[in-house]
Structure 1
Amino acid sequence: MQNLKFKNISEKNMSFSQVFDHIEDFMNKDPKANYRLMVGTDSQVHKLHTIFITGIVIQCKGKGAWGCILPVKFNRRYLNLHEKISMETTLTEQVAYLFNEERKNRLIDIVLPHIYRGSSFTMEGHIDVGLEKRSLTRFLASEMMARIESIGLEPVVKPDSIVSSAYANRYTKY
């Protein structure tokens, strides 16, 4: 996990340190706001490989967001649904672990002086599973949610898991 290269529409080859600096700068612009730090992964099976895209998004509720992705290509086809969703959750966990206690505390310290005036900070793990009866992934939801919860993130599933099911999803097609 040392040489990860994140990117977005304006920057390529960002280290996680640079990503964290962007998040910190984004939050420092308005420390009295409500922030959601969201991490989620989606994947797409192609002819000879599978692309996994992990997204990181910091959202200032009602005031915009900043995000980036981490693409990972495996030279095999993940055809088993449980294996594929499990790998997506694993990659989400690995990126979330990069927000160690020191980094989390730095982000919390930005909003902490304003907490009694309504500012907030939450960390969410977005999982590309649904709970509806018609969802093929519903039987995997409780397992993946427990994994995300066990690392200290709030688990979010479809239709609310926008980082995995929308943001990361749009980059899996290439």
Structure 2
Amino acid sequence: MQIIDFNDLSNLVFYSKTYGKTNVQQMVNIIKEFIDESPSSNYKLVIGTDSHEKKCIDRKEAREISLVTAVVLHRKGFGGKYFWIKQKPKKINSLREKIKDETNASLLFALSFLPHLEKTLNGQSPKLEIHLDVGNNGETRDMIGEVVGMITGNGFEAKTKPDSYAASKVADKHT
């Protein structure tokens, strides 16, 4: 696991069930090849983060979480490819802090990754969505407006549960 440094994408290691370990440039090349196979198809690029909380004895202490960020490219009607990266554990003190950390991980990666992808795709990129692990049911419902605002304020489309599969299904699978 690693702490993600968004200033230097070249040092990041992503994982894929199909491709194993990949760096960002390899991931971008795989995405480009996938799009080039069927350039007239509709694609959606999705980034989402989920976290897993390590059990602690005293709930008053800061808890430790590991964040997993997933990058999913979906070719509508066909399927897709996905990659994930896991960050080193960090301490959190509240559910709000956990959700903000998940949101920030997705947002900061998207802001750094999208220009790199667009450069490789000659200025073109599939529509980007950021999936958030919040929903109308449960404790996170009060945070929806706040985290959706963080995403839309940066020019991206935000999806929440039950439509946020990159966070709640793909990233969750690897936490």
Q: TM-score range by the shorter chain?
A: 0.7 to 0.9
Residues 131 and 166 in structure 2, CA contact (< 8 A), matched pair in contact too: yes
**TM-score normalised by structure 1 residue count:** 0.83
Task: Give the secondary-structure state (helix, strand or coil) at the position aligned to 2:172.
Answer: helix
1:6 aligns with 2:32: no
SS in 1 for 2:12: coil
Aligned 1:1-174 pairs, distance under 5 A: 1=5, 2=8, 3-47=11-55, 49-76=64-91, 78-101=92-115, 103-104=117-118, 106-107=120-121, 121-130=126-135, 132=136, 134-172=137-175
Moved more, 158-167 or 20-29: 20-29
Provide the secondary structure at the position in 2 that maps to 1:10. Answer: coil
CA contact 1:5–1:12 (8 Å) conserved in 2? no
Contact 1:55 1:70 in 2 (8 A): yes
Cα deviation for residue 31 of structure 1 reads 0.6
Is the CA contact 1:31–1:110 (under 8 Å) kept in the aligned structure 2?
A: no
Query: In the alignment, is the contact (CA less than 8 A) between 2:118 and 2:124 conserved in 1?
Result: no
- The runs of at least 4 aligned residues of structure 1 exceeding 6 Å deviation read none
Q: What amino acid maps onto 2:30 in structure 1?
A: H
Relative distance call for 1:19 and 1:27 in structure 2 (3 A) is same
Distance 1:20 1:51 in 2: 25
Task: Tell me the matched-pair count.
Answer: 160
Query: What's the offset of the Cα at 1:153?
Result: 1.5
C-alpha separation in 2, matches of 1:135 and 1:104: 37
Secondary structure of 1:69's counterpart equals: strand
How far did residue 94 of structure 1 move? Answer: 1.8
Q: What is the percent sequence identity of the aligned residues? A: 30
Q: CA RMSD in A?
A: 2.0
- After superposition, the C-alpha distances for 1:60-104 in whole angstroms (9 at most, x for unaligned) are 00111000001012243x341100000001110121022343633
Contact kept in structure 2, 1:28 and 1:110, CA below 8 Å: no
TM-score with structure 2 setting the length: 0.83
1:118 alignment counterpart:
none
Q: Which deviates more, 50-59 or 99-108?
A: 99-108
- Mind listing any 5+ residue stretches in structure 1 that lack a counterpart? 112-120
Alpha-carbon distance, 1:15 to partner: 1.3
Which piece of structure 1 moves more, 93-102 or 65-74?
93-102
